[in-house]
Amino acid sequence: MAGQPRLTVALTFDHDAISSEVDQGHGPVLRSRGQFGPRVGVPRVLALLERERISATWFVPGHTIATFPASVAAIVAGGHELGCHAWAHEDLAEHPDDERAIIERSFAALSAAAGIAPTGFRAPYWSLGPRTLEHVADLGFRYDSSLMADDVHPYRVPVDERHDRAVSDLGRPGPLVEIPISWALDDWPQFEPGPRGVGPMSAPSKVLEIWAGELRYAWEHEPGGVLTITMHPEAIGRGHRLAMLEEFIGIARSLDGVVFERLDQVVGRWLAGDASPPAPR
Ligand SMILES: [Zn+2]
């Protein structure tokens, strides 16, 4: 563990803006909720990250880059990483024939916006088709952040899995690194109601209890782990929730040996010490 932080916290933001509402044909009200992201949420989040001197990872659909270029430029100017999140926030499991083209188009837009090719991918809705991650690896990405087989330890996305009701073959380690995620560490299902306001809208104290509980457990029991938090500017950018994020950052900072990093930095460090390189073909 020499040279490794005791625990890394990765703050990640899915800058969906209005992409999923447009993709799903929602009307002006839900589109306006999405617009709160670039209009209010992103500037507030960027100001907080600058005050705290934290670099973060932002997964940005191509539609957001094309529609809100100034918002994405401000993120790049803040020293943050851009990752791929499809084009119009498509559910890629429903696009088996054109998912590769969707990812390629997004890759090109991200490369132009950031001046550097993206290395990370996160599936919209954390929904993957059977071949999505094969395309992602083929297109040169180094990591995915859509799976849940671990909580704080990166691992290799398996290839050649075969699943049958009799028995499953779990395959072998592939080229992509997985940075695992969880709905428990995602602001959206905690905070955001569905259409007509029906849904959770948790108090931030409840979400802080969950996030800080995961943080303290990983710090105590899983040295070298990476706690990845997923947020959306239109959700976390509300005042009472942003105050909670600031409190969470303070709790993390109060623990010895906690650092904040972008996922590309986490993956570079993990690959340097990887004990399970992909099996040769
Ligand atoms: Zn998203």
What residues contact 148, with CB distance under 8 A and at least 6 apart? 180, 181, 182
99's enclosing H/E stretch is: helix 99-114
Q: How many Å apart are CA 122 and CA 224, to the nearest integer?
A: 22
Q: Has this prediction a pTM greater than 0.85?
A: yes
Domains of the chain, each with CATH number or no CATH: 7-160+174-272 (3.20.20.370)
Distance 275 CA to ligand 1 centre (A): 31
Distance 235 CA to ligand 1 centre (A): 12
What band does 272 get if pLDDT is binned at 50, 70 and 90?
very high
pLDDT, tens digit, 9 for 90 and up, residues 73-118: 999 999 999 999 999 999 999 999 999 999 999 999 999 999 999 9
pLDDT of 279 above 80? no
* Pick from 180, 201, 206: nearest CA to 189: 201
260 forms beta bridges with 9
pLDDT of 278 above 80? no
Distance 125 CA to ligand 1 centre (A): 6
Q: Token digits for 209?
A: 């209890």
Distance 144 CA to ligand 1 centre (A): 14
pLDDT, tens digit, 9 for 90 and up, residues 197-254: 888 889 999 999 999 999 999 999 999 999 999 999 999 999 999 999 999 999 999 9
Burial 162-189 (b: 16+ CB within 10 A, else e): eeeeeeeeeeebbbbbbbbbbeebbbbe
Distance 14 CA to ligand 1 centre (A): 5
Distance 16 CA to ligand 1 centre (A): 5
Output the CA–CA distances (angstroms, integers) from residue 251 to 8, 210, 246, 276, in the order listed.
Answer: 13, 13, 9, 33
For residue 275, what pLDDT is reported? Answer: 66
Q: What is the mean pLDDT of residues 30-57?
A: 98
Distance 123 CA to ligand 1 centre (A): 7
Percent of the chain with pLDDT over 70: 97
Distance 271 CA to ligand 1 centre (A): 26
For residue 211, what pLDDT is reported? Answer: 98
For residue 82, what pLDDT is reported? Answer: 98
Compute the mean pLDDT over every residue in the chain, rounded to the nearest whole number.
Answer: 95
For residue 193, what pLDDT is reported? Answer: 83
E-only strand ranges, 196-276: 225-231, 258-260
Classify 118 as helix, strand or coil.
coil
What band does 196 get if pLDDT is binned at 50, 70 and 90?
confident
The dihedral sign for the CA sequence 234, 235, 240, 242: negative
